[in-house]
Structures are given as C-alpha cells and as structure tokens.
Amino acid sequence: MRFAIISDVHANLEALQATLGDITGQRVEQIVCLGDIVGYNAEPAACIGLLRQTGALCVAGNHDRAVAGQISTDAFTPFAERAIAWTRTRLGADDLDYLAELPLRASISDTLVAVHGALHPDSGCEWVRLDSDELRQLSFDALRTHASAAHICAFGHTHHLGIYKLHGGQMRMHQGDEAALSPDAYYLVNPGTVGQPRSSEWRATYLVLDTGLRSLTVRRVEYDAALNLAKTRKAGLLPRSRYIPRPLRSVLGRGARGLRRVWRGSS
C-alpha cells in the first residue's frame, strides 16, 4: 500500500492544493495528515474541506485543538494566539466539530502510527517536539511496545523533515530523499510542513510510504507562496517584520518580488 504523509498545513490553501496535486501522480491509496490543519494563514475552512474531500486520515495538532476550544492558548505565542482567535470566527459549527473530533493518535493496522507531536506521553502529546535524541528515544521506546505492533511512527509539529532509524539499539538520522526500510528496525518519520516553512526549504514537503517496496520517498512541491502571503497579510495575521523568523522573512521577500512582477505585468 502507498501512503502520502503530510503535516502542518496551517491554512495555506495554495500549498495544500499544490501538494494534493502532486500526490495524485504518486499512485497513493491513503493520505495521512499529522495535524495543524489550521493556524497562522488565512484559508482554514478551505483546507479542512479539501482534506475531508480526499478522505484523509487526520490526527489533531495543537492549533486544531486550540481552535476547537479543547486546550488553552496560554502556551502559544501572541502571533499564534491571534491567528487562533481569528480562525475561530471564520469556521462554521461543522468545521469546528470536525476539528474537535480528530484523535490525538491513529493506527493503520500494523503498519503506521500517526501523531502530531510525539508518541510517548500519555497526555499533551500534541505539544511535545521531537527535536532531540533524548525525546526521540522516548517515542522509539513507546513505538516498540505499541499495541499496533507497527514499526513506523509518523510525527509532525517541528516543521522539519526527518527520517530516524532505530536498529540494534543504535539511533541515526537518514540522509537523502530515498530510504529503504529494514523489517527489523523502527522508524520515526517527519514529513516536514506543507504550509508553514521554518527552514531555508520554502517548498511544501511530504513523504510517500510504500509498504510493498518498503521504502520512503521525500517529495518537494513548489506553490504560489506570494498569493498565500498576500492573503495572510490582508487578514492581519502576519507579525511585525522584526519578529518574523529568518526563513519566513526569506519567503516574504520572494513573495513580494513575485507580487511586484505580477503587478507590473497587469499594469
């Protein structure tokens, strides 16, 4: 079976549309979304609608749960908290119910366990960032004893692409865009982010898991970042420039240049 694993859409419609378009050419049978469908950007309802149309299996991210009123926004940055409040006013009852009903974890038979943040904590797992070997080891320990008997756990939340392998007690990060999966190893895999880049990689990224070939493939997808940023700016959801992370400032710069070219062409 072939899965497309995506995460952290964050209401970026242009990125999600481009990603789903790329997925259609990958002979994928199931889309798995690791949460944070909403937040930060200006098209939450459209993104929820697209994922529901595709029949994607989704788990809840911290932004999804905050918008649904299931967790407090106290731990969010002012930038994120403002976007959560704005998003609540743009979603209907059906969309809010959909977010509220998303599970924190989902298992696909004995193949894959999906979470947003981490597998190991009993509560608050949507908040934990697997950004250190110590934390990744805790989720590996949870995966090895998981009731599903799956050897792969897909997680998001960090917005950084990564494939981690545990074999013979040794953990290592895979390098490259193709990974052959060993039947006696365990894996933590992060597809990066569809809609909210936090590195020099501004394109949407996702993973294709082929259980028959026992392989993972990284996919990178270009999209109209300038259009998304224009919508987000118009909605008042962008922070002041001095607080914008460097990777996002880079995207903003490219977006502004793209918009100027469009305006010149239409004048």
Domain ranges of the chain: 2-221
What pLDDT score was predicted for residue 93?
A: 98
What pLDDT score was predicted for residue 251?
A: 60
Q: How many CA atoms lie within 13 A of 85 on its CB side?
A: 11
What pLDDT score was predicted for residue 161?
A: 97
Q: Which residues contact 246 (CB under 8 A, 6 or more apart)?
A: none
What pLDDT score was predicted for residue 109?
A: 87
What pLDDT score was predicted for residue 253?
A: 58
- Looking up tokens 């006696």 gives 184
Q: Which long-range contacts (CB under 8 A, 24 or more apart) does 229-233 make?
A: 229/255, 230/255, 230/259, 231/13, 231/41, 231/42, 231/43, 232/40, 232/41, 232/42
* One-letter amino acid of 69: G
26, 43, 31, 32: which is closest to 196 by C-alpha?
43
3-state secondary structure of 153: strand
Q: Which residues of the chain have pLDDT under 70?
A: 240-267
Candidates 3.40.50.10890, 3.30.930.10, 3.60.21.10, 3.30.870.10; correct CATH number of 2-221?
A: 3.60.21.10
| Terminal Cα-to-Cα distance of the chain (whole angstroms) | 50
What pLDDT score was predicted for residue 116?
A: 98
pTM greater than 0.85 (yes/no):
yes
For the purposes of burial, counting CB atoms within 10 Å of the CB of 190, is it exposed (0-12), middle (13-18) or buried (19 or more)? Answer: buried
